[in-house]
Amino acid sequence: MRRVALFFHGRCAAVFLLAAGLVALTMGTPAQAQFSLAVSPPRFELSTKPGERVRDVIELTHRDTQAGAYKLKTADWTFRPDASVDFSDELLPGSCRPWVAIERRELSITPGRPYRFRFEVTPPADTPPTECRFAVMIEGQQAAAAPGVPVALGARIGVIVYVAVGNVAPVLELAGTSVQTVDGQATPVLKIRNTGTAHGRLAGFLSGTDASGTALELQASTTPIMAGETRDIALLANKPGESETPVAVRFPITISGKLEWGKSGSLPINQRFAP
């Protein structure tokens, strides 16, 4: 059976998964989905203290005509430089999964009735300040069959959980700039170093003027930067007030403004980008 792991790091309220349909789409083959699942939220950012328990709920909605059977478990994960994710059933060094409890490992969900799946994390009382990271993996118990595909298809959803234990926080700083090809377009990129003790993200808009004198608005990718890592963050350009419509940048471009990170951190930007 072929499996596809889906990693959801965004802020959307729900994720709709068509297992066979999604995989077959990448193969250019039409397919009938065998199960579908809406998950909300796709990411958790929690906090607690050593020795104290924190609980939360994943809302699962099965969108099919018959009840859906699912398996659930935890996994460690690694965020690669290319923004892909490796999930691990084995405990990675420093894993906090021994602190995690999920309410059950097999689940049948009635169509149209959301199921509130509970999990909790209890760091030991002597835990030093740290960021606990793991995923709750949700997998259909039956493989999906797609017409014209010789192998059965399976899919997993990875719901990402961050738990700040004690006083941890990101510290983001600019380590360099470049122009790189992103989705086929030359794109200004910030190299961001995180010297803090928790993951961080950049947020906000910058102002830019390109080679033609056109005023642009640039938004930093919300890709997370893990503690101790340095990661390239693309600046996506659009016309002011039209953030959903990306535009191509005519280089060189001068970009200025301030990006926010963490609870009160900010990163001033005043850079010229040229290929």
Would you state the pLDDT for residue 266? 97
Please give the domain boundaries of the chain with CATH numbers for all domains. 2-165 (2.60.40.10), 172-273 (2.60.40.10)
Tokens of 246: 């990306």
d(CA 67, CA 143): 15
Would you state the pLDDT for residue 242? 84
Mean pLDDT by 10 residues, the chain (275 residues): 43 37 30 64 96 98 88 96 92 98 96 93 98 96 58 74 98 98 96 98 96 96 96 95 86 98 95 96
Q: Angle at CA 239, nearest 5°, toward 236 and 241? A: 105
d(CA 183, CA 122): 41
Among 232, 176, 160, smallest CA distance to 202 is for 232
d(CA 78, CA 87): 7
The three state secondary structure string of 252-263 is CEEEEEEEEECC
Would you state the pLDDT for residue 66? 86
Among 4, 7, 2, smallest CA distance to 135 is for 7
Task: Determine contact, residues 217/209, Cβ cutoff 8 Å.
Answer: no
d(CA 162, CA 133): 5
Task: Determine contact, residues 205/257, Cβ cutoff 8 Å.
Answer: yes
